[in-house]
A and B are shown apart, each in its own frame.
Chain A
């Protein structure tokens, strides 16, 4: 088996791996919404409610800025 054939097989198996990853991601998105961990559709409002003084849309995680303030 020469290097070109090896490259071909490597490409094939990597494709399979990445396809599995992509399908797993769909499952992950729906599962985490079902469990109530995330509300992805709410994030669409970030573009609509984008005034500097309006309340952040996502309250499920901590920004670096807040983490810094908490650490003080």
Chain B
């Protein structure tokens, strides 16, 4: 378009969210490593008084990595890639620029308030939804602002078709909006009681089994729409762009999208197998979890086949390595989840360390790898400098891959050992082991997990250093790279 010859994409908001991705990633993983070490060495609970105990830090870890690191990564990649696939610059609309920047600053203030409130012990005691009602309101506003920016950009686009990544970003927006609102319905007790108690305190609008059902409908789908859908959005843009290969099958990407939307929302009740929810609902959760393999593998196989005929790039380009490993871990994780959701397997797996093992091969191998690869791809385009060090990138890849393998293998062994010991009975039907027996046996595996945490965190620091040097002192680029990201 002649009239837009001088127009450029505006990455100012994407850059801001890139900084918070790195900041919150470091914080979240640092706390995660500390609490992993606390499980192996309980005396580490007493380093910082009440602020350093496992119970205070665990929600901080989960909330910082979900709402801090991952969402920052989602926003950074959205503000970068949405402009490009819609072929419209944020600089073309003062309104969108304002909303984008307001979105960032409100998000940053809300995130800091959230961190402080959890550190001080304010929690509504719902997993992944611990924030009290005033923080929830800020989060809702932040989400609305993202939606306004998203649909405003779509409204002024030049590219007529919405690229598949945009579909996934829209699904992330709508899915989280619905889940977050319903699960966080609560009554602030101060106002309901006419001024009694703490102003921040609230109680859920649901109770008993209904509360558990809503909670795990939310909890499971927070994984769906926070850790899956927007990460698939990223890989559908960044892998083709970095490799120079169009998606293997666009039709398969559309079918997988609708398949994922249809199936994922019904699988949450697998978190409540063998509990007081209706039996048919438990069975439905199991069945839908197994069916979920199809759309998940549809996307993952589509990604791997995108590299068809170009597998040499796997050895030549570390970013391709990160993304291919991410989609491989996505496949592993989306097979492991359904296996755990089978009722008989769940009877052993439930409440054991196999569950955090499963979560972490998904998040460390899939979510974090993909977000880091996306930011590395964006950096030369946003800062107009080549990536500072390929060697550092390679070293980071192997260190973190080893860390993920150590994490999930130790937790697999720990979890199955734990599950078997809890159920073991002697010839008279008495339980053979008390709880502390399992703790003693699991100690080495907890120590391995803590070590893997240290390794993964070191890898993340290598990523942060590489990004910092890329932003500040790497060789400047005269023109934007078309596909493969340049690196020294």
Asked if A60 and B84 sit within 8 Å, CB to CB, the answer is no
Instruction: Tell me the complex Cα distance, A33–B249, Å.
Output: 13
Task: Judge whether A26 and B7 touch: CB under 8 Å.
Answer: no
B159 touches A65 (CB 8 A): no
B423: A residues at CB distance < 8 A: none
Chain B contacts of A8 at CB under 8 A?
278, 280-281
Total interface residues in chain A, CB < 8 Å: 38
A22 in contact with B87 (CB, 8 Å) = no
Using an 8 Å CB-CB cutoff, how does the interface string of A1-26 with B read, 1 for contact, 0 for none?
Answer: 00010011001000100100110011
Tell whether A53 is near chain B: CB-to-CB under 8 Å. Answer: yes
Please tell me the number of chain B residues within 8 Å of chain A, measured between CB atoms: 43
* Residues of B close to A11: CB separation below 8 A: 280-281, 284
State whether A44 touches B247 (Cβ < 8 A): yes
Known interface pairs A47-B236, A47-B240, A50-B85. Does A7 touch B251 (Cβ–Cβ under 8 Å)? Answer: no
Q: Is B1 an interface residue (CB 8 A)?
A: yes
Contact between B157 and A63 (Cβ–Cβ < 8 Å)?
yes
Please measure, in the bound complex, the distance between the C-alpha atom of A16 and the C-alpha atom of B281, giving whole angstroms.
16
Contact for B161 among A52, A55, A61, CB less than 8 A:
A61
Q: Is the CB of A40 within 8 A of B1?
A: no
Give residues 17-66 of A contacting B (CB, 8 Å). 18, 21-22, 25-26, 29-30, 33, 40-48, 50-65
State whether A57 and B161 are in contact (beta carbons under 8 Å apart), knowing that A40-B250, A40-B254, A64-B155 are contacts in the complex: yes
What 6 pairs between A and B have smallest CB-CB spacing? A44-B246, A58-B161, A50-B84, A8-B280, A58-B160, A44-B247
Give the interface of B toward A (CB within 8 A). 1, 4-5, 7-9, 83-85, 87-89, 155-161, 163-165, 236-237, 240-241, 244, 246-247, 249-251, 254-255, 258-259, 262, 266, 278, 280-281, 284, 483
A positions within 8 Å CB-CB of B: 4, 7-8, 11, 15, 18, 21-22, 25-26, 29-30, 33, 40-48, 50-65
